[in-house]
Amino acid sequence: MKYKRLPDSELEVMMALWTAKEDVTRSFLEEKLKNKGWAGNTINTYLSRLLEKGFLSCERRGKTNYYTPLVGEEEYLEFESKTMLSKLYGSSLKNFVVSLCRRDSLTPAEIDELQCLLDDLKRRDGKDGNTP
């Protein structure tokens, strides 16, 4: 499936759905998103848009609609990350990391965490020089 970037409001609805781990009703979403101050009709509009875009399915059970994500959280976040990296940094991970480092926004603990991640990736891909 080819994705399009979701507006922030629709992404908020998807994030609420992803936390549920099961089919949910609109009333569940209203409760989960009450801090947004959205009316029920607003949530209905976002659900309709997500249905049209193929991000959700809807099943009617009695008088209640149940919504199920058709796109997984990790799958969409990977798409979003690649889109952001492409648009803002010319698909260069190096340029992204350099921009973080210029602003002193990485703590020593975060740098250590990144180094561990890179070391793990090297080992996994057999690029550490020690793997035949």
Give the tens place of pLDDT for each residue, 107-117.
888 888 988 98
| Residues 22 and 77 grouped into a single domain | yes
Q: What is the mean predicted confidence (pLDDT) over 65-77?
A: 94
Give the tens place of pLDDT for each residue, 72-87.
999 999 988 888 888 8
| Residues 86 and 107 grouped into a single domain | no
User: What's the number of domains the chain is made of?
Assistant: 2
| Residues 78 and 97 grouped into a single domain | no
Residue ranges making up the domain that contains 117: 92-131
Residue for token pair 């607003």 = 42
- How much is the pTM? 0.73
| Residues 28 and 43 grouped into a single domain | yes
For position 52, what pLDDT does the model report? 95
Residue 51 near residue 72, CB atoms below 8 Å = no
Residue 61 has pLDDT above 70, yes or no: yes
CATH number reported for the structural domain that contains residue 44 in this entry: 1.10.10.10
Q: Please name which of 54, 59, 67 lies closest in space to residue 25, comparing C-alpha atoms.
A: 67
Query: CA 68, CA 71: separation in Å to the nearest integer?
Result: 9
| Residues 69 and 97 grouped into a single domain | no
Where is average pLDDT lowest: 12-21, 52-61, 99-108, 122-131?
122-131
